[in-house]
């Protein structure tokens, strides 16, 4: 049967697929609009299957938060090219994925049909890579941040036993600054006590081998105790949030910055409870 321009336009409005793809779908389904939509979705999956070996390192990390800011979520969706990552359809899908994650739902299940259509529209290997969801636990504050237009996303939770401090603008601002720091400095742990001993031992082995190579031999065992302790402390200061030099003031550590905020909040203790850092493709 002949496919009219009006039918193609209607299918395009319903799916945002290209004119050629819409005409192909309507022709294959004898003009049945419902079947044509299904055809396009199935075609999207077929395209993805053909391109499964293509690297998907572009994309977006998006943030969603509840009205009361007590629940926040990040979602990362990858594609093959920066061009697709900047399209309206892709940006909308990632924003929707973050909102679904905020609701505590499975993204692939909740947005299955939209995902299939996105594959059809882009013709790329699009991957729903990961998501994270924080709900405030106890007294404190949550903060979220998107850096470089979606290249990096951060969630952080600060805790304090003081309700007045938790509700203060000072703590909200501090949480935002900690987000900025995490985005810039990429810590892996909150405190040195969180670092697995195996990771510290592996780092010490590398450092000691380098020292032996440089000096020709290692110092006496009694001297090595202090050397290892210093190496471990330096390593933790590089990868642990609280021990890193604060991004906005290198004269103090993040821990010291939070102590200053604590004093401004009537000496209520403030701690970083947890954080999440998503870097696109990393």
User: In which band, very low, low, confident or very high, does the pLDDT at 1 lie, cut at 50, 70 and 90?
Assistant: low
Q: What is the mean predicted confidence (pLDDT) over 71-98?
A: 96
Residues 6+ apart with CB under 8 A from 134: 71, 72, 73, 142, 155, 157, 274, 276
User: In which band, very low, low, confident or very high, does the pLDDT at 44 lie, cut at 50, 70 and 90?
Assistant: low
Tracing tokens 């900690």 back to the chain, one arrives at 178
What spatial distance separates the first Cα and last Cα of the chain, rounded to whole Å?
50
| Mean pLDDT rounded to a whole number for the chain | 91
pLDDT the model gives residue 14: 73
- Burial-class residue 94 by CB neighbours within 10 Å (0-12, 13-18, 19+): buried
Q: pLDDT tens for residues 138-190?
A: 999 999 999 999 999 999 999 999 999 999 999 999 999 999 999 999 999 99
Collapsing DSSP to helix, strand or coil, 251 comes out as strand
pLDDT the model gives residue 151: 97
- Specify which of 2-6, 167-171, 223-227 reaches the highest per-range mean pLDDT: 167-171
Judge contact between 107 and 75, C-beta under 8 A. yes
Whole-angstrom Cα distance, residue 184 to residue 172? 19
Q: What is the mean predicted confidence (pLDDT) over 202-213?
A: 88
Flag whether pLDDT at 191 surpasses 80.
Answer: yes
DSSP annotation of 15 reads: H
User: In which band, very low, low, confident or very high, does the pLDDT at 12 lie, cut at 50, 70 and 90?
Assistant: confident
pLDDT the model gives residue 4: 87
Whole-angstrom Cα distance, residue 130 to residue 229? 37
Residues 6+ apart with CB under 8 A from 107: 75, 97, 100, 101, 128, 131
pLDDT the model gives residue 221: 81
pLDDT the model gives residue 2: 79
Judge contact between 155 and 100, C-beta under 8 A. no
Whole-angstrom Cα distance, residue 247 to residue 99? 30
Whole-angstrom Cα distance, residue 110 to residue 24? 27
Flag whether pLDDT at 90 surpasses 60.
Answer: yes
**Cβ neighbour number for residue 35 with a 10 Å cutoff:** 14
Structural domains of the chain sorted by starting position, each given as residue range(s) with its CATH number in brackets: 5-50 (1.10.8.10), 51-135 (3.30.479.20), 196-239 (no CATH)
Q: In what order do the strands lie in the sheet with 58-65?
A: 58-65, 71-79, 127-135
- Burial-class residue 198 by CB neighbours within 10 Å (0-12, 13-18, 19+): exposed
Backbone CA torsion sign across 13, 17, 18, 20? negative
Q: From 129, 128, 126, select the one nearest 47 (Cα to Cα).
A: 126
């Amino acid at each position: 049967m002949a496919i009219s321009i009006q039918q193609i336009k209607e299918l395009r409005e319903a799916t945002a697929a290209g004119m050629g793809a819409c005409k192909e779908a309507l022709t294959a389904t004898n003009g049945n609009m419902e079947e044509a939509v299904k055809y396009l979705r199935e075609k999207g999956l077929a395209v993805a299957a053909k391109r499964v070996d293509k690297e998907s390192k572009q994309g977006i990390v998006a943030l969603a938060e509840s009205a009361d800011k007590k629940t926040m979520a990040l979602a990362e969706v990858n594609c093959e090219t920066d061009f697709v990552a900047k399209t309206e359809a892709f940006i909308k899908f990632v924003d929707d994925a973050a909102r679904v994650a905020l609701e505590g739902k499975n993204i692939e299940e909740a947005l299955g049909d939209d995902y299939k259509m996105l594959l059809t529209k882009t013709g790329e290997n699009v991957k729903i890579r990961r998501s994270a969801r924080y709900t405030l636990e106890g007294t404190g504050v949550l903060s979220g941040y998107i850096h470089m237009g979606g290249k990096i996303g951060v969630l952080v939770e600060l805790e304090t036993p003081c309700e007045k401090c938790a509700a203060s603008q000072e703590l909200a601002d501090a949480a935002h600054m900690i987000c900025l720091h995490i985005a810039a400095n990429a810590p892996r742990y909150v405190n040195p006590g969180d670092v697995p001993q195996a990771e510290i031992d592996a780092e010490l082995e590398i450092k000691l081998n380098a020292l032996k190579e440089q000096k020709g031999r290692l110092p006496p065992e009694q001297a090595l105790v202090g050397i290892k302790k210093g190496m471990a402390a330096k390593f933790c200061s590089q990868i642990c949030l609280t021990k890193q030099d604060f991004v906005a003031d290198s004269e103090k550590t993040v821990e010291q910055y939070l102590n200053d905020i604590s004093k401004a909040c009537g000496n209520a203790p403030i701690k970083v409870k947890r954080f999440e850092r998503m870097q696109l493709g990393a």
